[in-house]
Amino acid sequence: MRIPVDPSTSRRFSPPSSSLQPVAGKMSDAPQEQNAALPRLRQHDNRTMVEIIADHPAELVRTDSPNFLCSVLPSHWRCNKTLPVAFKVVALGDVPDGTVVTVMAGNDENYSGELRNASAVMKNQVARFNDLRFVGRSGRGKSFTLTITVFTNPPQVATYHRAIKVTVDGPREPRNPRQTQSSPPWSYEQPYTPYLSQMTSPSIHSTTPLSSTRATGLP
């Protein structure tokens, strides 16, 4: 016996509606929206560290942080003396204007060397220090390591290793050869008797004997 089936109550498989496809598109757009929310560097901040150093040869040096450069310091300097070039810190990322930047110097002998004018304010990605001076001495044959702290949130720290040697007298100028006495023309391994004999010139003390006529006064 066959049971009649009402066609109105029969179920058929219907394909998914195309109206759901845009939802998937919105889900795919979520990473793009997140990327758009990330802070972007300005056009000049996208430059590499090598390009910036190339534009300022012999002026900037790398630190151990990829986000900051700083001025090259002289290898040896006198304590409490103005630097030949104003010290500055250059930020490669986006650091707000007005951010405080400080510098500390130290090594294993003098862990906190005294500095003057060791703080500056960031402006246009550059913190320029007004007359930074190294008052404390680094010790004989030793150099200071600089610790640069940029007070962002959170703070960022950069280190400049073996930055500068600071002594009381500073680098000594080479001596004038006119002021130094000339050394004897012999070496210490050679006997200097021949050179002493040269000092007695025959022209000064004549060894020619007088003639007999001049000695007696007779013609």
Q: Residues 24-29: what's their mean pLDDT?
A: 49
- The whole-number pLDDT of residue 25 equals 47
Task: Catalogue all structural domains in the chain, each as residue range(s) with its CATH number.
Answer: 44-166 (2.60.40.720)
For residue 51, which phi and psi values (nearest 5 degrees)? -65, -40
Q: Residues 182-192: what's their mean pLDDT?
A: 53
Would the pTM count as exceeding 0.75? no
Residue of 136 and 25 predicted with greater confidence: 136
Question: Does the structure show a pLDDT above 60 at 36?
Answer: no
Share of the chain above pLDDT 70, in %: 52
| 85-115 exposure pattern, b = at least 16 Cβ within 10 A, e = fewer | eebbbbbbbebeeebebbbbbebeebeebeb
Residues 6+ apart with CB under 8 A from 6: none
CA distance 129 to 120: 5
Query: What are 113-142's pLDDT values in tens digits?
Result: 999 999 999 999 999 999 999 999 998 889
Question: Does the structure show a pLDDT above 50 at 79?
Answer: yes
Return left, alpha or beta for 28; rule: phi > 0 is left, psi -120 to 50 is alpha, else beta: alpha
